[in-house]
Every structure is written in structure tokens, then in C-alpha cells.
Amino acid sequence: MRIAAEHLYLAPGRGAPRLNAVIEAEGDRISGIRCGSGGKGLLAMPALVDAHDHGRGLHHIGFGARDQTFELWRAALYVQPSIDPYLNAALSFGRLAQSGVGSVMHVYSSIRVDRLLNDAEAIARAARDVGIRLGFVVPLRDRQTLGYGSDELLLGMHDAQDREFVRNTWLYPFPSPQTYMDLVTEVAARIEGPTVSVHLGPNSPQACSDPLLEAVGEASARDGRRITTHLLETSIQREWADATFPQGFIRHLCDLGIICERFTGAHGVWLRPDDVALMAERRAQIAINTSSNFRLRSGIAPVASYIKASMPFCFGIDSFAFDDDEDALRELRIANWVFSPHDTDAPLTASLLFQGWHRNGYLAVNGRPGYGVIAPGAPADILVLDYDQLAYDVVDGMIEPLEIVLTRATARHVKSVHVAGREIVRDGRVLGVDLPAIEREVIAQTRAYADKMRGLKPILERSQATLKRFYQGGGHRWSTS
């Protein structure tokens, strides 16, 4: 592999670019960097890392799941049509690659363990075909399917006409903690490889019993496997946690071995400074999901407290980009604007921003350090942007090229993406799969379920109304089982 660039950022945010440089690679590693020509008008840097996503090629709005408070929006996922898992994942991964992503954390969300192994194999195949690195998160949960209370309690609050359907369709018997751990081992045996890793994935701590969380903590400590979960995304989750664990929710997760140096928690919007301090002590991470938190009305993550505590953090798109386009470059820019206000004493500097999108994210997804600097021996994961297009009206010498990237860059400026020494995107086209054909097929499969989805809509709406009354009445604060 040989990549030439007029502007080469060896470590974005930590120094000026090298001019007229050539990156050379052998196999999946960078072998050298030298002066050279051929890259006029191009800007290169390490490829981005999406450290929290759900790999949904079919956008939520396509099956009626409109943006609203998370706890009500989540219920709408029950009408998601059953489309081919390979195609769904490949569509998502391809769009991410087009926007400069080289690694992605796929938080698989289905609770159907009977098809977990087959789906995992299909998703890993999609990642390999597209060419991205994949962290596959095995979903683990054994309670609170419907909401932050016992399933029997919430089922009893539903309309009588819907209870049998809800019980038979949305509620499944859960495996034992040991069966879950065996499943994680089997998934890893089937799909792990040089570009695929498998994670322990308690869906959310409130959805897991202490015995299940203990099993996760023990397995992680024993095997060195990373843990990925959602963590205090919403104010309702914060209230549930305070009512259920008055001694401290984050402390409880630390005691169970969940929060440790192998931990990544998504969102973290409602973490308090003492929570952050505990996580920082253990070198645990938060994956920030800026656009998702806006769209689901969850709030703004307290990133200044992360920075003050020296807690590592990364970034994810969460299948919830602002414009439903999986544009990681736009997500990077939004985070830069949101978390560097003029009145903070702990701004998100460019160095911290790119550490999140590079080094910290790569560790979270792939479980390996050493990423984020273009140097001999580093992974050959490179993003090349069309700088001439970005800076079409810029007067030379008046502004740092990285500032142009942070102001304007989107997926349409991506010239190429290379992962493990393989070119996976060129001039906006994904090379490993026919992405337009996949998108057409996903839409066709979705619309084939149209009548069924429309038939489920009234049940879903009644269920959401039930959940709304439950939370407005404070049920999550007194129903702690």
C-alpha cells in the first residue's frame, strides 16, 4: 500500500501536518513514511473509530420509530421487520466506511438467543466484506424487557386485549448466566480473527441481575475480554439507579467487577462527578453519542467532568446520526462544537477530540492500544480527504488545514479509506460490496412487512402510552425489581 498526501497529520491535534508525504505499508502495518509527490490536494490521517453503534442499515424512522424520549422510542423497536442480518449490517458498515470509519463497535440488540450464533456469523461476514474492523457485542440481559420494573408488573398495566400478544411476542425466557457465558465463548470461537473481536455485552445494567453481572465481571477478568454496555443514558435511568442503589449505582457496578479498565459505557449523560471519579480510577471509558442524545432528548454528556478527572472517552454514532446518514465526520464536528464552549474550564481540545476518535476508540473496539499515530508498526488504517474540495475558497497560509476539516468535513469529502492495508472505499464507493444494491434490497424486504407492521402499530401505541403513564407516575422509582 502506498498513500501520498499533500497534508499528512501523523496525530491530528498534536502538531502541524507533514507536507508532501508518502505512507507505505506492508501487510496490515505501516512500514514507513517518506517525502514524496503525488498527493496534491489530499489530506491524510488515521481512520476514524465508531465506538458505539447498533449496525442498523434500516433507519428507525423507516418503520415508524420517531425520535422521542428513549424509554418510549425503545418500545417502537418491537415492530422492526425481520430483514436479512447480513444485508442490514453491510448497509450500515458500508455507510460508516464511506464517512471515514475503519473500526466499529456493533452492539447487537436482539434478545433472541436462538439465532444469536447465525446472526453473529452473518454480521462478521458483512464487516469482513466491507473491510472494517468489528467489535461484536454479545447481548446479555435477564430482566426488565418492557421497562424499568418487573415484566409481570408492566404486562399487567397493558390493555387486557394486548397482554397475551405482548407476553408471547415480546417476552422471552432468558438463559442462565452460565449459558450466556458459554454463548459468548461459542460466538468468539466462530467469528473472532485479526479484524474481529467479541465483547461481553450486558445490554444495560438495569436489565441484568446481579448474578449475571457477576458472571460478566468474572469472565472479563479471567479472559481479558472487554465489557460494553449502555450507562445512565437518561434522567429516568438516573432516577431508577438512585432509588434502587442508594449506596451508589456506579459503586455497585465497580464492586461487581463490571467497571474496570476493560469497560466502555455508552452515553454517560447522567454521570455525576463522584461517578466519573470512580470510573477514572479504574481507567474505564465512556463512548459519547452526541447526536443520539439530542435526538432522544437525553441531554448533553458532562464531558468537562470527564476531562477534569482524566477519564478516557471515545465517540459513537449509535445508528442515530443527525441526518440518518451515518456520517462520522459530521459527528466529529458536532462533538467539537458542543463540548468546547467558551465558558468551560475544561474544553474539548483538538488533541482530546482525536484521541477519542482514534486511540481510545480503537482500544474500546479492538482491545488493542497503539492506534492514532501514523508511524512505522502502527495499523495501516488511513483516511484520505479531498482537501482541495474542502478548502476551495481558502487563502493559502491563512488557516490550519485541520480547522477546515473541523468546520466542513463530511462523507462527501472522503477520497479513500484503507483498513489493515486494504483499500475499502475509493471516491465514495465501497469496494467490497454493492452498497446501492444492498440498500435497495433492505428497503424491499422492509416494505414486504408493511401490512404486518401497520397491524402492530395500534398495539405498539397502546404499549407506549402505558409506559408513559408508568414513568410519569414514578413507577421506575418504586418498582425496583
- Does residue 61 fall inside a structural domain? yes
Give the per-residue pLDDT at 252. 98
> Do residues 339 and 349 touch, judged by C-beta distance below 8 A?
no
Quick check: helix, strand or coil at residue 209? Answer: coil
Domain count along the chain: 1
- Name the average pLDDT for the chain: 96
Residue 440 lies in a domain: yes
379, part of any domain: no
Q: Give dist(CA 174, CA 172) in Å, integer.
A: 6
Query: Across residues 420-439, what is the average pLDDT?
Result: 98
Q: How far is CA 467 from CA 291, 294, 341, 456, 471, in A?
A: 24, 21, 36, 17, 6
**What letters, b where the CB count within 10 A reaches 16 and e where it falls short, cover 139-178?**
bbbbebbbbbbbbeebbebbeeebeeebeeebeeebbebe
Give pLDDT, residue 342: 82
Q: CATH number, domain at 435?
A: 3.20.20.140
pLDDT tens profile 263-290? 999 999 999 999 999 999 999 999 999 9
Inform me whether the pLDDT recorded for 257 exceeds 70: yes
Q: Read out DSSP for 281-333?
A: HTT-EEEE-HHHHHHTT-----HHHHHHTT--EEE--TT--TTSS--HHHHHH
Residue 125 lies in a domain: yes
Indicate whether 307 pLDDT > 80: yes
Domain that holds residue 175: 48-370+429-478
Of the pLDDT bands very low, low, confident and very high (cuts 50, 70, 90), residue 222 is: very high
**Pick from 67, 98, 58, 164: nearest CA to 419:** 98
- Percent of the chain past pLDDT 70, that is, above it, reads 99
CB 71 within 8 A of CB 238: no
**Within-domain flag for 282:** yes
In a domain, residue 383? The reply is no
Q: Examine residue 362 and state whether it is found in any structural domain, yes or no.
A: yes
- pTM score, whole prediction: 0.97
Share of the chain above pLDDT 90, in %: 93
60-108 confidence digits (pLDDT tens): 999 999 999 999 999 888 888 989 999 999 999 999 999 999 999 999 9
- Give the closest residue to 229 by CA, choosing from 335, 135, 305: 135
In a domain, 30, yes or no: no
pLDDT at 480: 55
